[in-house]
Structure 1
Amino acid sequence: MRTFIQRLGAVALLAVFSFALAGCGNKEAEQRKAFISFLQTRVIDKPGLRVPTPTAEEKASFGDYAQHYAVITDFNEGMNQSVSQPMTQIMAKGALRSIADLSSRRDDLKAAKDGMGGLRTALDQQTAKADAAHAQLKQPDDLKQVYDKAYDKTVTAPASTFKEVFPALDSVFDSALAIGDFLEKNKSKIQISGSSVSVTDPAVQAELNKMLQQLNSQSAAINAAQRKLQSMVRG
């Protein structure tokens, strides 16, 4: 038979446990409030794309919700390392300074085009990883509404906008490579000196003009995509 003291001890333990739960609940509410405020004021309300690094004090105030924010920061860090930085290098390698480059730097252009395929794969992987982590998060409704807005602004929208650049780049590289092959094939009829081009065959001249016009129009599409990216980043 349990003694009165034993029963009292059990009741006391239950009471302490209840108080502990209440305390955790209050702490969670405060952490959630701090996290919601951070997302709203530092991410959503700011113009353009902003992924601020919380201070140690701010991170501590989020409690376990700091890991929720890590889903966003991990995506952006992954994008910088596996997409943005490599793309800068690839674009520099594939940059054209004159029409002569279309013929003399075909290997560079081919390497740049192949590199873009790797970047597209990296972007898809980073997005899928973030989306999977996002789907696993357990959040109260008030936090979820704010978090989803922040996630869309810092993950979904940038990834979607970035993807629009790839088709335009593919078209430019394809056209540039085709012109390079055309110049090589007709090199006996085409003389290039700096930015000047002299063609002895009218039919070759007409075809070259057509190909160059197509390349120019495709370059305009890239410029438009870049402006959209810049607008998203700057707000």
Structure 2
Amino acid sequence: MNVSFRPHWLLALALPLALIACGNDEPEQRTAFTKFLQTRIVDKPGVHVPRLTADESKAFGEYTTHYAVITDFNGGMDAVVKPLGDLVQKGAVRSLSDVISRRDDIKGVQSGLNDMGAQLQQQRAKADSAHAQLKQPEDLKAVYDKAYDKTVSVPANTFLEVLPQINSTLDSSLKVADYVNAHKAQIEINGPVVKVQDPKVQAELNALLQDLNVQAKTVQQAQVRLQAVMLGR
């Protein structure tokens, strides 16, 4: 009598297992998400963070939340660094007269750059924390980490290297302005023409201006490097 009941028990146990297996879409979602990361981000030049279509979101399932770590950071980074072009333009000087007359503007630009750097560090730390908490199969993790590095770590680190270089140039500008103000009696500025009475003052001022020129070239190189990272050029 007991034997006759065994097939019923086996059927009852097998049915839920079959239903679970049929409902597991993770392998397909992982494959689709991995292919997307590889072809749409890793293989593309520059920093590309496409917005997901409705079909892609459906195909990736829960992995859309993993992609959100990347998209959230890039949205935050874009908002933080958006004023950079205006700040650089505002801090640019074309003559010694500019350096003197726009000292307050330069100090304001430095404050804006410092705030930008602090916000960007916060955005990166938030993304890094979320990234560290992701649970991913090894095959997906290998590709995801490459995509994360390309769209989060590299651009964030590049911006955070460039901002202090811009600030150093502004520091050099302020040193020139302060030196000229401290030696007004020996320095005469008439438009683009600068006359210095004391040879010692002239040598010291030339040294400060040479340092400013070197710093300006460094910033230009940094901007080229930043463009190469973001645009892949």
Q: Same fold (TM over 0.5)?
A: yes
Cα distance between partner residues in 2 of 1:134 and 1:112: 33
Q: Tell me the residue number matched to 2:23.
A: 24
Shift of 1:18: 1.5
Question: What is the root-mean-square deviation of aligned Cα atoms in Å?
Answer: 1.9
Name structure 2 gaps, 5 residues minimum.
none
Identity of aligned residues (%): 50
- Aligned pairs for 1:26-65 (under 5 A) are 27-65=25-63
Cα distance between partner residues in 1 of 2:12 and 2:183: 91
**Paired residue for 1:196, among 193, 196, 199?**
193
Cα distance between partner residues in 1 of 2:201 and 2:149: 50
Shift of 1:189: 2.6
Q: Does 1:167 align with 2:169?
A: no
**Paired residue for 1:109, among 106, 110, 124?**
106
Q: Tell me the residue number matched to 2:226.
A: 229
Shift of 1:14: 4.1
Shift of 1:49: 1.5
Q: Tell me the residue number matched to 1:118.
A: 115
Which digits, 9 at most, give the CA deviation of each residue in 1:91-111, with x for residues without a partner? 232222322111111111111
Cα distance between partner residues in 1 of 2:15 and 2:97: 81
**Partner letter of residue 23 of structure 2?**
C
Hey, which bits of structure 1, 4+ residues long, moved more than 3 A? 10-16
Q: Tell me the residue number matched to 1:141.
A: 138
**Partner letter of residue 57 of structure 1?**
D
**Secondary structure of the residue that 2:95 maps to in structure 1?**
coil
**Secondary structure of the residue that 1:192 maps to in structure 2?**
strand
**Partner letter of residue 41 of structure 1?**
T
Cα distance between partner residues in 2 of 1:173 and 1:234: 26
Which digits, 9 at most, give the CA deviation of each residue in 1:99-131, with x for residues without a partner? 211111111111111221111111110110000
Shift of 1:192: 2.2
**Secondary structure of the residue that 1:197 maps to in structure 2?**
strand
Q: TM (normalized to structure 2)?
A: 0.90
**Secondary structure of the residue that 1:100 maps to in structure 2?**
helix
Q: Does 1:157 align with 2:157?
A: no
Q: TM (normalized to structure 1)?
A: 0.90
